């Protein structure tokens, strides 16, 4: 018998209306009940727009939740590209964010460097470009992915910018260095003729119509960044603390300080966060290709894709025996056994059975860590989605809610935002899926 705490109906958060081109603090006014939005909503917002991170949510929505809940400190344990921290800085409250993907954490860190000297950034940009335009780097040793994704001319220019940056970097301040690193990183897709899939996987074989010239793209990016930095320097407070760390780890240092958690963890839907930055990591020589992603990225993350579970060679019984899974073990085991059985009928033999078990073991550890960080009366909002690998339905909202109650949170309710059964790549099943907000009471 499964026991539920009485579901607490929390007030719906408000969501800010999208409006004119560049939204700034002064314009954020109209509100409506609505969705958590997508990252594309952020592409017109200062700082947020510096790097397109498809997995992200809407900054305006986060701001609306902050205004509604009036917390003294916000935590986002899966902060991605930094959306929640920047939103908190715009609202003038303290915030903490964790990100375990090293490359994505660096992107967030660079965005949070908006308080650096604009003058210094402009001056180093000029030096960098002057040096780059006099260089003609040998690109023959670049990774096969880069050679496929760029014309020789474009790649040579991008490598010249990179080499020039690496030479000058030691002389500039850390924050200006991080801003320049991000400017270079963020022009890599626009300067490639290769397409990008909806979820940021690079598609070398799929061409696209508009390709930017690297030096122009770099200058334009710096112009955008300096304008946005000036805007934030006038209107926001640099109060966010970003940590490149694992949300599953214990959080003694926050000991009851947090009264609002706004976050979106990976969904157990096989999206490979490691692969979303493959092009960029190849460019910076952090990996040679897909085969390096497990050791450089995935191993740090919540296990939400089958490649990760397969690489760890997990044994289902061992994962299911994890003590933190006790509150859902019986129902979860049934699902994982069905996935194990289903696997034998499919050619790819994907490790969904161990992935799903490991996913909830990881999420349970995150809740455990959060319990220590959150005050009594705190509130948490998890933007989540369910999944149905091989057509076997996984009730993510219910399992997460039960795991949260088991570590001492007092109630949960789920607020559906949209149906998403069309997005699952394996369309062989017709299981309806959904995305929404899991509200958890502290
Ligand atoms: C849905 S995305 C969050 C995006 C974020 N809301 C934004 O707007 O950019 C989930 C993030 O969790 C990160 N992540 C996965 N496992 C993690 C872990 N164990 N600890 C911290 N972050 C993790 C992923 O790298 C990814 O960036």
Query: Per-residue pLDDT tens for 235-258?
Result: 999 999 999 999 999 988 999 999
pLDDT above 90 (res 166): yes
Cβ of 97 below 6 Å from ligand 1:
no
Cβ of 86 below 6 Å from ligand 1:
no
Nearest-CA residue for atom 27 of ligand 1:
80
Confidence of residue 35 (pLDDT cuts 50, 70, 90): low
Q: Which of 101-105, 235-239, 267-271 has the weakest average pLDDT?
A: 267-271
> What does the pLDDT read at residue 24?
31
Cβ of 125 below 6 Å from ligand 1:
no
CA–CA–CA angle 345, 266, 84 (5° rounding): 165
Cβ of 302 below 6 Å from ligand 1:
yes
Using DSSP bridges, classify how beta strands 240-243 and 94-98 pair: parallel, antiparallel or unpaired: parallel
- Do residues 309 and 303 lie in contact, with contact meaning Cβ atoms separated by under 8 Å? yes
> Within a 10 A sphere around the Cβ of 90, how many other Cβ atoms?
24
Q: Which of 5-14, 42-51, 61-70, 357-366 has the weakest average pLDDT?
A: 5-14
> What does the pLDDT read at residue 426?
53
Give the Cα separation of 401 and 3 in Å (integer): 11
Nearest partner of 412 among 434, 372, 382, judged by Cα: 382
| Residue % of the chain over a pLDDT of 70 | 90
Confidence of residue 16 (pLDDT cuts 50, 70, 90): very low
Exposure of 348 by Cβ count < 10 A (0-12 exposed, 13-18 middle, 19+ buried)? exposed
Nearest-CA residue for atom 26 of ligand 1:
80
Cβ of 264 below 6 Å from ligand 1:
yes
Cβ of 111 below 6 Å from ligand 1:
no
Nearest-CA residue for atom 13 of ligand 1:
78
Nearest-CA residue for atom 3 of ligand 1:
80
Quote the DSSP letter at residue 387. B
Over residues 187-239, the pLDDT tens digits come to 999 999 998 877 778 888 888 889 999 999 999 999 999 999 999 999 999 99
- Do residues 365 and 403 lie in contact, with contact meaning Cβ atoms separated by under 8 Å? no
Quote the DSSP letter at residue 29. T
> What does the pLDDT read at residue 425?
56
Stated pTM of the model: 0.91
> What does the pLDDT read at residue 4?
30
Choose between 90 and 206: higher pLDDT.
90
Give the Cα separation of 290 and 96 in Å (integer): 31
What is the length of the chain? 442
> Within a 10 A sphere around the Cβ of 323, how many other Cβ atoms?
8
Q: Ligand 1: distance of its center to the CA of 37 in Å?
A: 16
pLDDT above 90 (res 342): yes
> What does the pLDDT read at residue 429?
74
The enclosing H or E element of 329 equals: helix 329-343
CA 81 to chain centre: 6
Confidence of residue 301 (pLDDT cuts 50, 70, 90): very high
Cβ of 308 below 6 Å from ligand 1:
no
Best probe residue, ligand 1, of 301, 367, 383, 417 (max atoms within 8 Å of C-beta): 301
pLDDT above 50 (res 184): yes
Domain boundaries, given as residue ranges, for the chain: 118-235, 309-442
Over residues 376-432, the pLDDT tens digits come to 999 999 999 999 999 999 999 999 999 999 999 999 999 999 987 765 555 667 888
The enclosing H or E element of 74 equals: strand 73-76
Cβ of 266 below 6 Å from ligand 1:
yes
Give the Cα separation of 408 and 403 in Å (integer): 9
Which atom of ligand 1 is closest in space to residue 57's alpha carbon? 8
Give the Cα separation of 114 and 235 in Å (integer): 12
Give the Cα separation of 225 and 231 in Å (integer): 10
Nearest partner of 162 among 147, 183, 141, 143, judged by Cα: 183
Give the Cα separation of 426 and 179 in Å (integer): 39
Q: Ligand 1: distance of its center to the CA of 124 in Å?
A: 31
Quote helix, strand, coil % in the chain, to nearest 5: 45, 15, 40
Best probe residue, ligand 1, of 38, 97, 266, 383 (max atoms within 8 Å of C-beta): 266
Q: Which of 158-172, 356-370, 415-429 has the weakest average pLDDT?
A: 415-429
Best probe residue, ligand 1, of 51, 75, 88, 101 (max atoms within 8 Å of C-beta): 101
Give the Cα separation of 334 and 340 in Å (integer): 10
């Amino acid at each position: 018998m499964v026991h539920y705490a009485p579901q607490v109906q929390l007030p719906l958060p408000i969501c800010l209306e999208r409006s004119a081109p560049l939204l700034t603090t002064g314009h954020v006014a109209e509100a409506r009940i609505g969705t958590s939005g997508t990252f594309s909503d952020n592409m017109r917002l200062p700082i947020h727009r510096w790097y397109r991170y498809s997995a992200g949510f809407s900054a305006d929505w986060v701001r609306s939740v902050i205004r509604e809940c009036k917390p003294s400190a916000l935590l986002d344990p899966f902060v991605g590209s930094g959306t929640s921290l920047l939103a908190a800085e715009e609202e003038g409250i303290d915030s903490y964010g964790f990100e375990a993907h090293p490359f994505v954490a660096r992107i967030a860190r660079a965005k949070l460097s908006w308080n650096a000297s604009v003058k210094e950034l402009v001056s180093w940009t000029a030096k960098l470009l002057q040096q780059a335009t006099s260089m003609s780097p040998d690109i023959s040793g670049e990774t096969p992915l880069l050679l496929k994704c760029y014309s020789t001319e474009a790649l040579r220019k991008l490598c010249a910018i990179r080499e020039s940056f690496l030479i000058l970097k030691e002389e500039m301040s850390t924050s200006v260095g991080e801003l320049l690193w991000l400017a270079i990183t963020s022009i890599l897709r626009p300067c490639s003729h290769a397409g990008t899939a909806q979820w940021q996987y690079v598609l070398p074989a799929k061409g696209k119509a508009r390709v930017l010239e690297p030096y122009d793209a770099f200058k334009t990016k710096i112009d955008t960044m300096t304008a946005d930095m000036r805007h934030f320097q006038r209107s926001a407070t640099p109060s966010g603390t970003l940590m490149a760390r694992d949300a599953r780890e214990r959080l003694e240092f926050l000991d009851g300080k947090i009264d609002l958690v706004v976050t979106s963890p990976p969904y157990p839907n096989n999206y490979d966060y490691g692969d979303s930055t493959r092009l960029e990591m190849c460019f910076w020589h952090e990996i040679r290709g897909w085969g390096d992603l497990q050791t450089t990225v995935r191993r740090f993350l919540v296990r939400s894709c089958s490649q990760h579970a397969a690489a760890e060679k997990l044994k289902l019984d061992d994962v299911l025996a994890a003590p933190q899974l006790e509150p859902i073990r019986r129902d979860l085991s049934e699902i994982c056994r069905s996935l194990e059985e289903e696997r034998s009928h499919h050619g790819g033999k994907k490790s969904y059975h161990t992935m799903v078990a490991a996913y909830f073991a990881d999420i349970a550890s995150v809740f455990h860590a959060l319990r220590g960080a959150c005050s009594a009366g705190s509130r948490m909002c998890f933007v989540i989605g369910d999944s149905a690998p091989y057509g076997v339905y996984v009730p993510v909202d219910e399992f997460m809610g039960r795991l949260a109650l088991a570590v001492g949170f007092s109630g949960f309710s789920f607020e559906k935002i949209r149906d998403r059964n069309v997005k699952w790549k394996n369309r062989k099943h017709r299981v309806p899926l959904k995305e929404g907000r899991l509200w958890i009471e502290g």
